[in-house]
Chain A
């Protein structure tokens, strides 16, 4: 295999620590008494809950339906009873709760009937709808609903890239999956190729995974290419791997589909195979449990598995552990609550200890050494963005292309001043989003206010015109029935009120006044009459809405 590679700039070589967890096969997890399935596990709109507390569910039953376009379904990981549909702790850096379906397992693990799809003879659109209902989302970390990514739309896709780079240190779930289930991954890739209608299929795997490379090569047909890429973080970044394999840069603000390339994680391909060929929704994923634990390794964990149980399956944390990271050490986040469950995006539970993860030393001022810029795979100047983010000059930070930052962490990894650069960029981005939202809202309020002013002005004008007309009329008929118009108006109002009261009695009024005692109805009629009068009181009553 001698495909020409296109190395991206920057990147770092953090210690891999892959051997800690990649030596043993993927282990199954015992059935747990309880699962917590968040309804927002993907990017986009959360799934709409389909079950209520007390309801019985079967494994694979849809418990949350895709809502809107960017959404996907959620399913019951086992059979049992829904205990609650309520906000619970989820693995998210914010630590905020999110709506979850809590299921108490009945121990039977009874499944709904699965319907394998004859995908080769299935219309691509029907296939995508099924995939949406089977809850498929990208398992590489971004958890973008897969059915959307399988819709080439107006943009023809010529190349499908299967991302098996797994460049984050410590994580080996894709490595083990490729070693053990390469044939299934390849089948998943075939389905993707079918849906996208593309010719070329490339697997990108870092050369620190020779077994995975060999397994994929053995499984892949001649028209798929398994490419070994140099071990360099972040070669598993979508844009980086795309460039590495094809030399094509994903345009800023765009997706790789803009240049005819679609990228899927190998884990997603595997789950797609199960969804399509077995009809099984996305019920589980492989999660690496590693770091300062007794028996590190990879586990096939059902979605909804509490992380504390996952940790226990790996023998628990060793003495001296100081917390856990969800994901890898470069892009992961601190787990705030161990009751949070495994979701579609959780690829690793990394237990920290002070030796492997010493506290970041206190930051010194930036000396503009440029190490961050040399390490940046997006060719940014992180230290410039840092100066401006720190000074809250967000406009300038943005003009240095802050939003091209993929938050890979290379800059902060190499910074000799130990500045938590990515923290500053996350902060600046959220501030800019906040301000844009504020601005949008302010604009809307301003427009609304301006329209109100305009409307009031218009009404005033219209009223004035009508007055003028009425005055003219009055002048024309002057002296004949001077007080009459006022009398007539009052009479008309009274007539209207009586009419309404009559209608009310006949039950034409809204439902909440149906079947009321006569006394109450009379009262209502009186109130209505008063209200009608009140409504007509301002001005001459001509502007009543």
Chain B
């Protein structure tokens, strides 16, 4: 028997939260399919299926009931974010491995829903970028740039049977972030780099529209109070500020801030990944610090690191700091003189 309160907010559950997140991803997914072809549906389907199977398997191994945990939808969101972060048209086992690291290792080995220190999708992504770097550089080229954009059936073929006679270069390309990095380091002028077909009006061709759709979905989450403004705004501001300073200091080496905001995983990260409540800081001030750190790290990795995009490592590094950030940024409690550090007892 439970005590008060006996009243409960209606239509409120973990499943509902996850469903709202999934719904907010839809514009971005559709834009992705629109600009890069139907390959995204294949990777999305694979990740979701692998995610559900692995979640069920892990629950069985841990002796937990399937129904409440499978229906919470958290594995679905992790799998979807993974699919959106990974390259499309990669071999099927890459998605399996990534989901295994995400759901199996990062989530369940750390205690399951709500217990994981690291963002599961980003652990899966990081494991792949370290383990299989070649596949992680082959990104589907946007329609209009690619020599060949596989249909849905062809995408299935590519994923399960491999490229076969078709050259990988026919349907993939380097990402603009990658291109900028290598070409700028080779001394190519920024203006010359940005006119290449894989670049769009501000960011990466196609990707910039996908990013704007993620932004739209993120605004929906804000309007529905699934997330607060703290993390996305600070994350993007920190990225823009860092990119802006770098660009001002050395325009030849560093791309303008808007390019960074609309390329790679910036928008997806700002609204869907950095905001994962389990692994993000939770206090208002803590969220600002956490998001600023993640945004700053992301730009530093993009500018100076070995990887073209920095989403996974920026988030994982920020995740490490979360318990510390939270403990030191406790808000002032009503009737108290000041807030600050807690948990010293």
Chain A 400-418: CB-based contact to B (< 8 A → 1; otherwise 0)? 1100100101001111111
Closest Cβ of chain B to A433, distance in Å, is 16
| Residue A325, interface by CB 8 Å | yes
Q: Which residue of B lies closest to A373 (CB)?
A: B282
| Residue B1, interface by CB 8 Å | yes
Taking CB atoms and an 8 Å cut-off, the chain A residues in 1-29 that contact chain B are 8-9, 12, 14-15
B335 near A366 with CB under 8 A, answer: no
Instruction: Please choose the segment from A53-61, A245-253, A439-447, A489-497 that sits at the chain B interface, where 4 or more of its residues have CB less than 8 A away.
Output: A245-253
Instruction: Please choose the segment from B2-10, B34-42, B147-155 that sits at the chain A interface, where 4 or more of its residues have CB less than 8 A away.
Output: B2-10
Instruction: Please choose the segment from A106-114, A302-310, A380-388 that sits at the chain B interface, where 4 or more of its residues have CB less than 8 A away.
Output: A380-388
Are A368 and B277 CB-contacts (below 8 A) given A249-B334, A252-B335? yes
In the complex, which of the residues B112, B115, B333 contacts A380, with contact meaning CB atoms closer than 8 Å?
B333
Q: Interface majority SS on A: helix, strand, loop or mixed?
A: loop
Question: CB-CB < 8 A to B335: which residues of A?
Answer: 239, 249-254, 378, 404
B330 near A409 with CB under 8 A, answer: no
B1 near A334 with CB under 8 A, answer: yes
A252–B157 Cα gap in the complex (Å)?
66
In the complex, which of the residues A253, A399, A426 contacts B343, with contact meaning CB atoms closer than 8 Å?
A399
| Residue B167, interface by CB 8 Å | no
Question: CB-CB < 8 A to B280: which residues of A?
Answer: 368
Q: Interface majority SS on B: helix, strand, loop or mixed?
A: loop
| Residue B98, interface by CB 8 Å | no
Chain B 54-95: CB-based contact to A (< 8 A → 1; otherwise 0)? 000000000000001100101000000000000000000000
A331 near B333 with CB under 8 A, answer: no
Closest Cβ of chain B to A184, distance in Å, is 31
Instruction: Please choose the segment from A77-85, A189-197, A356-364 that sits at the chain B interface, where 4 or more of its residues have CB less than 8 A away.
Output: A356-364
B2 near A8 with CB under 8 A, answer: no
A413 near B277 with CB under 8 A, answer: no
Are A396 and B345 CB-contacts (below 8 A) given A360-B2, A364-B68? yes
Are A400 and B342 CB-contacts (below 8 A) given A413-B7, A422-B4? yes
Are A330 and B4 CB-contacts (below 8 A) given A381-B331, A384-B342, A404-B333? yes
| Residue A284, interface by CB 8 Å | no
A8 near B334 with CB under 8 A, answer: yes
| Residue A329, interface by CB 8 Å | yes
| Residue B223, interface by CB 8 Å | no
Question: CB-CB < 8 A to B228: which residues of A?
Answer: 370, 374
Question: CB-CB < 8 A to A418: which residues of B?
Answer: 8, 13
| Residue A169, interface by CB 8 Å | yes
Closest Cβ of chain B to A172, distance in Å, is 16
Q: Which residue of A lies closest to B74 (CB)?
A: A367
B12 near A414 with CB under 8 A, answer: yes
Question: What number of B residues sit within 8 Å (CB to CB) of A?
Answer: 40
Question: CB-CB < 8 A to B5: which residues of A?
Answer: 329-331, 409, 412-413, 422
| Residue A116, interface by CB 8 Å | no
| Residue A395, interface by CB 8 Å | yes
In the complex, which of the residues A14, A327, A378, A412 contacts B333, with contact meaning CB atoms closer than 8 Å?
A378
Taking CB atoms and an 8 Å cut-off, the chain A residues in 231-289 that contact chain B are 239, 243, 249-254
Question: CB-CB < 8 A to A243: which residues of B?
Answer: 334
A239–B239 Cα gap in the complex (Å)?
42
Q: Which residue of B lies closest to A385 (CB)?
A: B342
A329 near B331 with CB under 8 A, answer: no
Question: CB-CB < 8 A to A423: which residues of B?
Answer: 2-3
| Residue A479, interface by CB 8 Å | no
Question: CB-CB < 8 A to A357: which residues of B?
Answer: 6-7
Question: CB-CB < 8 A to A381: which residues of B?
Answer: 282-283, 330-331
| Residue B278, interface by CB 8 Å | yes
Closest Cβ of chain B to A237, distance in Å, is 10
Question: CB-CB < 8 A to B13: which residues of A?
Answer: 361, 364, 416-418
Binding site for A on B (CB under 8 A): 1-9, 12-14, 16-17, 68-69, 72, 74, 112-115, 228, 277-278, 280, 282-283, 326, 330-336, 342-345
Would you list the 5 A-B pairs with minimal beta carbon distance, nearest first?
A409-B5, A395-B345, A365-B114, A329-B7, A399-B345
Contacts beyond the supplied A329-B4, A400-B342: 12 A-B pairs with Cβ under 8 Å: A253-B335, A325-B6, A367-B14, A370-B277, A373-B283, A381-B331, A384-B326, A396-B343, A400-B343, A417-B13, A418-B8, A422-B3
23 of the cross-chain contacts (CB-CB < 8 Å) are: A239-B334, A251-B335, A252-B336, A329-B5, A329-B6, A362-B68, A364-B72, A364-B114, A367-B278, A370-B277, A373-B282, A373-B331, A374-B228, A378-B333, A379-B331, A388-B343, A396-B343, A399-B342, A401-B333, A401-B336, A415-B12, A416-B14, A426-B3
